[in-house]
Structure 1
Amino acid sequence: MNFDSTHIVIRERGFAEVMDLALKVVRAHLGPLVLCGLAGVAPWAAANGLLLNGMVSDLDIWDETPGFLTLMTLVIAVQTPLATAPITLYMGQVTFQQQTDPRRIVSDYWRSLPQLLMHTVFRAAMAVTIIGLVLPYGFWPFTQELILLERNPMFAGRAKRMTTRRRSRNLHRSASGDLFGHWLAALSAGSLLVMALVGGVHTAASQLGGYQVTHTQLITVLTPACTWAVVCFFTVVRFLAYLDLRIRREGWEVELTMRSEAAKLARGMA
């Protein structure tokens, strides 16, 4: 790990700056992020297509659409930790390393899978309530990053180690108000972005490609695809916001500077 040569400058940023930085990161790493996104999202998107198949038809499109979109949103919210984990692991590598290792991404994903599954089950249990939508994003939004990148154990054991739950509570403590505001901003921006993507792709397909998208395809295919694309983008936003929170709460930039100097001294004494 190269502490003094990060691809992303480690400093405090406002949420608007985080959003702007996310756009630059996606542009710089578009290919790998698309591959990671497809690897994580494609199986779940296919499963959702089978699960929700037949819910919408052209005959009753306007009556059936609200129920479909509500269920689709809940399902995607529950699946997000598992589906976007490859993107988070890639971002964790590319921030501090000159080269990424796909095998390590797979290995880290596999080792983190038990806690990710527990996190997903918790979200699924809460998804039928309003708090299920608010809690994961509004108050503990970085649990996924803690599971994948810090890899604290699920249980303290005899050694009384720092568990993921306690680490999450310590990191998010006293920041709930700001995080909830960021969640509302992200939710609003994400909703507008989904609508813009759906409208843009529909217009491009019909006006430029000459393909007439049916109402059923618009709702059951195009809208979920655009929603997953926006979810992947906001996974990058969430990772950068996680870095920003660690900098603000824990002085992470000072820690990295100290580690860098220690590494230089160790190399000089070797």
Structure 2
Amino acid sequence: MQLDQTHVAIRVRTLSEIGDLALVLLHRYPTLLLIGFFWGALPWAIANGLLLYWIPITESQYGLDDPEARWQTTRYITWMALLVFLQTPAAGVITTIYLGQAVFESSPSWKTAVADARKQLGRWIRFLGLRRLAIPAMVIAGIRLFQPWDALFDVTIPIVFFLAAIVIRASRPFLPEMILLERCPTRSKNPNEITLSKRARTLHRPSGSDVGGRWIVSGFTLSVIFAGLFYSLVWLRGIATGYWNIGLVTLMVLYPLALWTVGGLSVVVRMIAYLDTRIRLEGWDVELAVRAEAMRQFGDEIEPVVGQQSVVSSSGSQDNARSNSKTSVAPAGGAT
């Protein structure tokens, strides 16, 4: 494995170039969404159905055009969007690991990505499921099963969850990559070891305003993409069936499908933004070039000269990188 000949060119990118590269990666690796993300999202989607599908099913018995049904439909739409928003980082665990492999390997393995995700199950559930409020929000939705609409639980609490999630993500936007790819320990008795909190400070604080601005623009763009995708699915259904009214298929299939698809795209965009941030702050492209030359000259790696952690160690382990140092890979720019 030649670290300076990656399949994703390691260079600084603008936000528009990050979006363009995300589409290129989805074109080159269509399984990112079709297999990886939807496989990771499937348990969450099933849980959401069990928690929320009773609302449209119950209201459809009296007609979804009824004024009372509109409040319940709004309740369903709000909670479904909130749950998918909170669950997306956890649902994208396998995809994130796979992308870490795809940077360096011509044929990344889903089997390896799934096995890696299982090994770190407890860790990412704790950070991405509990601390990022996905599971707590599901508990609230479960408590409200078959309960009538209530302003506190169906307006105030979703807003509080949403605002809290924004604050939490803004403080550590690349937490999934630090957990899954860099594998920073939560605590360490060794004062020289880079823990998760130390890594978060060095990576997030210097780039806070830039990353925050990008996050806002990306969120707005993804919202527009979601709206276009959802109405395109509704239009296709209308053309195919001649039925244009909002029904159970629209609410229970097309709406969640559009949400999860955009969620999968956001995982890819976040991963590329993470690489770009490392290049800007730590000169990661220079580090890879130096380490690659050391491997060619001495047959082994040297300690990183820039940055604290390396994606290489997580996308296959450093020992695996050494054992595959003679493997032929395509030149950089395979996905530019």
Q: Does 1:174 pair with 2:203?
A: no
Change (3 A) 1:209 1:93: farther
- Find the residue that maps to 1:123 and give its secondary structure: coil
> Could you tell me how far 1:14 is from its partner in structure 2?
1.0
Paired with 1:137 and 1:211, the residues of 2 have a C-alpha distance of: 40
Change (3 A) 1:61 1:195: farther
- Find the residue that maps to 2:55 and give its secondary structure: coil
Task: Specify the alignment match of 1:122 in structure 2.
Answer: 131
Deviations 1:135-165 (A, max 9, x none): 2443321100111101111211356522222
Task: Specify the alignment match of 1:190 in structure 2.
Answer: 222
Task: Specify the alignment match of 1:86 in structure 2.
Answer: 94
Amino acid at match of 2:189: G
More helix by share: 1
Deviations 1:116-153 (A, max 9, x none): 11212111169744542312443321100111101111
CA contact (8 A) 1:112 1:151 kept: no
Paired with 1:96 and 1:180, the residues of 2 have a C-alpha distance of: 28
Task: Specify the alignment match of 1:25 in structure 2.
Answer: 25
Paired with 2:241 and 2:197, the residues of 1 have a C-alpha distance of: 50
Deviations 1:211-238 (A, max 9, x none): 6564333233211110000000111100
The percent identity for this pair of structures is 32
Deviations 1:177-236 (A, max 9, x none): 112211111111111111111110111122145565643332332111100000001111
Residue among 67, 78, 84 paired with 2:75: 67
> Could you tell me how far 1:51 is from its partner in structure 2?
0.8
Amino acid at match of 1:122: R
Change (3 A) 1:129 1:79: closer
Task: Specify the alignment match of 2:232 in structure 1.
Answer: 200
Amino acid at match of 2:203: L
Unaligned runs of 5+ in 2: 138-157, 301-325, 327-336
CA contact (8 A) 2:85 2:263 kept: no
Q: Does 1:3 pair with 2:3?
A: yes
Unaligned runs of 5+ in 1: none
Task: Specify the alignment match of 1:112 in structure 2.
Answer: 120
Amino acid at match of 1:46: I
CA contact (8 A) 2:86 2:165 kept: no
> Could you tell me how far 1:52 is from its partner in structure 2?
0.7
> Could you tell me how far 1:240 is from its partner in structure 2?
0.3
Compare 196-205 and 55-64 and name the one that shifted more. Answer: 55-64
Task: Specify the alignment match of 1:252 in structure 2.
Answer: 284
Q: Does 1:266 pair with 2:274?
A: no
Paired with 1:146 and 1:199, the residues of 2 have a C-alpha distance of: 36
For this pair of structures, how many residues does the alignment match? 269
Amino acid at match of 1:156: S
Paired with 1:215 and 1:169, the residues of 2 have a C-alpha distance of: 48
CA contact (8 A) 1:205 1:213 kept: no
- Find the residue that maps to 2:230 and give its secondary structure: helix
> What pairs with 1:47-62 in structure 2 (closer than 5 Å)?
47-56=47-56, 57=59, 58=64, 59=66, 60-62=68-70
